[in-house]
Amino acid sequence: MTASQRPWPFVPIDFVAPEGLETSEYRLRMLTIHDVVKDFDAVISSIDHCQTVWPGGSWPQGLTIEQNLIDLGWHQKEFQTRRSFAYTVVNLSESMVLGCVYVEPTRKRGYDAEVYLWARQSELAGGLEARLYAVVKDWIAAAWPFESVAFPGRDVAWEHWRAIPDERR
pTM over 0.85? The answer is yes
Residue 7 has pLDDT above 90, yes or no: no
CA distance 18 to 78: 14
Residue 49 has pLDDT above 80, yes or no: yes
Phi, psi of 118, deg, nearest 5: -150, 155
12 neighbors 121 (Cβ within 8 angstroms): no
Residue range 119-140: average pLDDT?
A: 97
Closest CA to 44 of 66, 20, 60, 23: 60
Closest CA to 146 of 134, 155, 135, 137: 137
Residue range 51-72: average pLDDT?
A: 85
Q: What is the CA radius of gyration of the chain?
A: 16
The CATH superfamily label for domain 20-163 reads Gcn5-related N-acetyltransferase (GNAT) (3.40.630.30)
Q: What percent of the chain has pLDDT over 70?
A: 93
Comparing 29-33, 129-133, 135-139, 165-169, the range with the smallest average pLDDT is: 165-169
